[in-house]
Structure 1
Amino acid sequence: MKPGSIAFRLSLLLAAFSVFAAALASHYTFVTSRGLLRERAEHYLMTTTEVLGRHLQASLQSVSRDTVALAALAAAQGALEPGAAAAPARQALAQAFMAEMESHPDYLQIRLIGASAHGLERVRVQRQPTGLLRVADDDLQEKGHFPYVYEALPLPAGQVYMSELAASRDDALIGGSAMPSYTLSAPVVTAGGVQGVLVVQVAARAFLHGVSADLPDGFQLYMSNRWGDWLVHPDASQTFGFDRGQRVYIQDSFPDAARLLSGQAQQLVTSVRDGTGESVVAAFVRLPIGSEQEPRFWILGLAQPLSAIEGEASVLGRSIVQVLLLLCVAALVLAVLVSRVVTEPLKALAQATRVLGTGQRVQTLPTERTDEIGELARSFRLMEEQVWQQMTQLRTSHHAMDHLAHHDPLTGLPNRRMVEARLEQALHRTAQSQRPCAVLFVDLDHFKNINDGLGHDVGDAVLRGVAQRLGQTLRAGDTVGRLGGDEFVVVCQDLAGEDDATQLALKLKAQFEQPVLVEGMPVQVQASIGIAMAPRDGTEVRALLARADVGMYRAKQNGRNTYSFS
């Protein structure tokens, strides 16, 4: 083939066109795939942040339930009645406070404050380095000027006021040094009206650690208050700056977060450069706290380096470059031959490149050929398999996160989110069939003794064994789930009446008569069961769970290892 000949020039033209087409298709494939990878990674980051936010809110709701329950106990015992006649009731209430704080090591103080006498404390139990202490009556103080008193007094029964997360400096508490904490308070209401408030102060360090404990490697956790002050930051020197006279704001590091602070957005995904110059992608959600009437919130976020998100794209890019080089070599050979037999497979490969760029599988390739076209086809098939393998891994990760969002990782049972969804379905069926459904709240008795005496590994094995036994007791269509800790919930539908619920409670109770075997060692476990019936006790998910919770506490008050209707 002579230079300047038509064949030579046509060969050069075909070679140039083929190389250009291959490069364009490869670039389009790479850009499209990288965009898909980043979009999926951002969706995964936002989903993880939302799941984390629900976990955080569930932790707050647990403390709120304890606060409301203690307020109801104070009202029932008449601990705020005037005169010395209330002394025995206050003594009993102080013992209840101590029992509650023993089961919750992060509770710093529990106080009963009267509405009269400028908010004088009536009972105060606080945690000290030497243990729990009930403060003497002569040392009780007036707290009426604190928000957790005057903000909680107007609330209706069952409502809770929550303070901002701040650094506590109460010298009477453990260590006497600054520690992050928050306070919840609920009104103590009797037939005579609001008599006072029940206040629980909680150390936030363990609470915040629990939120971030299960995060995958490479994730960074952030949280700020409604003014933008950092409450959680990978750099501890950035947190609680307002307590040291320095205001360090979230919008200084993530400017788009100002939209969350102003209420213009409830969630967002943004990209910035951190202090080292590395690009990071962050997802933030706005989490309301306190009562619905209060415009207070936290901002929770997760961040991940952009390099980690686009790591798979780099592998994909190298594969595409390798295939592109092969395409260039094949284009030169095909251009020299200039034959229909050669150009038709080339067209097929170009079409396959476009198909792969659109995210579809290539149906046929001439991989059986032994020439360069066959080698190119096999290389293309290898690249396609690598791309689909990476996409499959990404989908598998997404399914795993979706399962984590709906199931308890320890027992494999449905978690609170799925239990509430199943209960919502059961209530809908009850409304249609007029056949009641029951919610059974199962709480293990003295489970803390198992953890403390035998270790958390044995405690986890006991929880798994209990979950298995509860599942064996149920009928087809019923649901058993774990809310957290040693709390389980059973949802049963299409019951004939209260007797069916009683029989089911007796079956559940019978499951605890035999000890749970942990590596051959018998561990005796008992449970208190609270029962709520729909529609008798309510037709809302949270209302029924709350009623079942009340029944469980009543069962514990009746001596434990029994059941009680709400």
Structure 2
Amino acid sequence: MKPGSIAFRLSLLLAAFSVFAAALASHYTFVTSRSLLRERAEHYLMTTTEVLGRHLQSSLQAVSRNAVTLAALAAAQGALEEHAGEPVRRTLAQAFAAEMDSHPDYLQIRLISAGAHGLEQVRVQRQPTGLQRVLDAELQEKGHFPYVFEALPLPAGQVYMSELAATRDEALAGGGDLPSYTLSAPVVHNGHALGVVVIQVAARPFLQGVSADLPDGFQLYMSNRWGDWLMHPDPSQTFGFDRGQRVFIQDSFPDAARLINGQSQQLVTSVNESGGEPVVAAFVRLPIGSEPEQRFWVLGLAQPVSAIEGEASVLGRSIVQVLLLLCVAALVLAVLVSRVVTEPLKALAQATRVLGTGQRVQALPIERTDEIGELARSFQLMEEQVWQQMTQLRTSHNAMDHLAHHDALTGLPNRRMVEARLAQALQRAEHTQRPCAVLFVDLDHFKNINDGLGHDVGDAVLRGVAQRLSQALRVGDMVGRLGGDEFVVVCQDLGGEEDATQLALKLKAQFDQPLLIEGLPVQIQASIGIAMAPRDGTEVRALLTRADMGMYRAKQNGRNTYSFS
């Protein structure tokens, strides 16, 4: 082929056009794919933040339920009535201590009367040496605190929640600078509030528990309704208001001011925090406390921009490699100028369009041994890499979805899924007119296993219990784990109370034989509370509460037994 000839000039023109077209298509594919990856990553970040927010609210609701349950127990035992004596208060103190044993983040639980200027009647507190009941001479008047006078007007079943603040009581475990919050529930008898049950919770263990299951690479943030940091990757930024300095979320993330002033409920923003690596952050506004108070927390997750766009870089390198191969193929095609070469080129162009639409490429001339075949195989490799990356994203999303509905230790449904399944069972019971039951299973003396044999053995025991309970269920029933050593069994289509009793006996029989943990036999016993629908209620939370009360009654009856609510 002579320079200056038509063939030569046509070859140059075809080669230049092919290279230009390949570069343009590659650039468009890269820009479009990078934008899609960025949008998907931001959506995943926001979804993860919302899931974490629901987990946080669920944890707060669990503490609220405990406060309501203890208030109901105090009302049922008449602990604040005039005839109540020391035996009643001692029994209630034992119940408080048992609750604090199950929740190491609880600092103290108190029963405060409405009269006598809010005099404490029972107080159990966590000290460095262990749990201690405060003697009558050391009980104090607390009527001037908001958790007393704001909780008393509330109806039964509702709670008051304080802001997070530093604890100033040096006698408590953790010292005087331990951040905590307080929840209180009224003790109502015959429509009158006789007092309140108050639970004080250490904030840091609670917040660390909320973020314990976050994947690597995520940064967790949380602020109060004024913007003061409650959680931050730099611990020195948190709880500044208790040290005489205010460190606000608006200083690091200016757009977060829209959440603080109520202009938005969620946002995704990008900033260079403290002059460091750019990050992408997703924030949601989480209401807390009662609605009239309009209090809230701001919860957020952040990732470095480099982590989010890392897959785009890999995709860019793959596109550059393919572009180089396309340039080589364009030169070959320009020289040959034949139908044998142009047809595969059309096939590759068609494959590029198909890949741009998100579909799999079906037919490529990979069997060829020339440059076109090499180009086709490289294109196929790029396609596999893109699909592999998209599959990894979907897998990560599915894993987060599974984490949102299942317990990470046992694989059983978590509280959220249990409540959804119980709601379905209640609808079915209403339709079929056949009752359903909730069995609340709580392991007896499980703390002794953790303390004596270690938490690894305790975790193995929980997995073993989950397996045994699952094996004992009928088809259509479900067992879930609420947390700690608490399990819930939802049974439907029962004939009556006798069927529920048989189910409880069947579950109890699962604990007759000890569990073998690393060759070591571990004997487990459980107390079971039973609530029936519609007899004990037709609402999810009401049934769970009644079943929980039945479980406590079983423990009071000597443990290793069952009791109806």
Shift of 1:170: 2.1
Listed one character per residue, the Cα deviations across residues 116-136 of structure 1 (whole Å, up to 9, x for unaligned) are: 222222232322233333333
Q: Which amino acid aligns with 1:155?
A: L
Kept in 2, the 8 Å contact 1:25–1:354? The answer is no
Question: 300-309 vs 171-180, which deviates more?
Answer: 171-180
CA distance change for structure 1 residues 501 and 43 in 2, over 3 Å: closer, same or farther? same
Kept in 1, the 8 Å contact 2:514–2:522? The answer is yes
Pairs within 5 Å for 1:33-72 = 33-72=33-72
CA distance change for structure 1 residues 136 and 482 in 2, over 3 Å: closer, same or farther? closer
CA distance change for structure 1 residues 470 and 176 in 2, over 3 Å: closer, same or farther? closer
CA distance change for structure 1 residues 79 and 542 in 2, over 3 Å: closer, same or farther? closer
Specify the SS of the correspondent of 1:286: strand
The residue that corresponds to 1:466 in the other structure is 465
The residue that corresponds to 1:453 in the other structure is 452
Question: 229-238 vs 32-41, which deviates more?
Answer: 32-41
Specify the SS of the correspondent of 1:174: coil
Structure 1 unaligned residues grouped into runs of 5+: none
Shift of 1:82: 4.4
CA distance change for structure 1 residues 499 and 454 in 2, over 3 Å: closer, same or farther? same
Aligned equivalents of 1:555 and 1:214: distance in 2? 33
- 1:370 matches 2:369: yes
Aligned equivalents of 1:447 and 1:392: distance in 2? 41
Shift of 1:219: 0.9
Aligned equivalents of 1:480 and 1:451: distance in 2? 23
CA distance change for structure 1 residues 193 and 262 in 2, over 3 Å: closer, same or farther? same
Listed one character per residue, the Cα deviations across residues 10-44 of structure 1 (whole Å, up to 9, x for unaligned) are: 22221121111111211222222222322332232
Q: Which amino acid aligns with 2:17?
A: F
The residue that corresponds to 2:187 in the other structure is 188
Aligned equivalents of 1:404 and 1:102: distance in 2? 27
Pairs within 5 Å for 1:213-252 = 213-252=212-251
Aligned equivalents of 1:264 and 1:220: distance in 2? 24
Q: Which amino acid aligns with 2:353?
A: R
Kept in 2, the 8 Å contact 1:120–1:141? The answer is yes
The residue that corresponds to 2:157 in the other structure is 158
Kept in 1, the 8 Å contact 2:252–2:274? The answer is no
Specify the SS of the correspondent of 1:362: coil
Shift of 1:323: 0.9
Kept in 2, the 8 Å contact 1:531–1:563? The answer is yes
Specify the SS of the correspondent of 2:318: helix
CA distance change for structure 1 residues 24 and 228 in 2, over 3 Å: closer, same or farther? same
Aligned equivalents of 2:543 and 2:130: distance in 1? 37
Pairs within 5 Å for 1:22-421 = 22-82=22-82, 86-174=85-173, 176-191=175-190, 193-421=192-420
Listed one character per residue, the Cα deviations across residues 389-422 of structure 1 (whole Å, up to 9, x for unaligned) are: 2222222222222222221121111111221222
Listed one character per residue, the Cα deviations across residues 364-399 of structure 1 (whole Å, up to 9, x for unaligned) are: 111122222112111111111111122222222222
Aligned equivalents of 1:192 and 1:375: distance in 2? 83
Aligned equivalents of 1:139 and 1:390: distance in 2? 64
Runs of 4+ displaced beyond 6 Å: none
Shift of 1:171: 2.9
CA distance change for structure 1 residues 346 and 258 in 2, over 3 Å: closer, same or farther? same
Q: Which amino acid aligns with 1:18?
A: S
Question: 126-135 vs 292-301, which deviates more?
Answer: 126-135
Q: Which amino acid aligns with 1:182?
A: Y
The residue that corresponds to 1:534 in the other structure is 533
Kept in 2, the 8 Å contact 1:25–1:357? The answer is no
Aligned equivalents of 2:548 and 2:505: distance in 1? 18
Specify the SS of the correspondent of 1:200: strand
Kept in 1, the 8 Å contact 2:405–2:413? The answer is yes
Shift of 1:186: 0.9
Kept in 1, the 8 Å contact 2:436–2:491? The answer is yes
Shift of 1:175: 5.3
Instruction: Provide the aligned length of Structure 1 versus Structure 2.
Output: 565
Structure 2 unaligned residues grouped into runs of 5+: none
- 1:6 matches 2:20: no
The residue that corresponds to 1:491 in the other structure is 490
Could you state the TM-score of these two structures normalised by the residue count of structure 2? 0.95
Shift of 1:254: 1.7
CA distance change for structure 1 residues 70 and 364 in 2, over 3 Å: closer, same or farther? same
Question: 427-436 vs 298-307, which deviates more?
Answer: 427-436
Kept in 1, the 8 Å contact 2:105–2:201? The answer is yes
Kept in 2, the 8 Å contact 1:78–1:86? The answer is no
Shift of 1:192: 6.7
Question: 261-270 vs 498-507, which deviates more?
Answer: 261-270
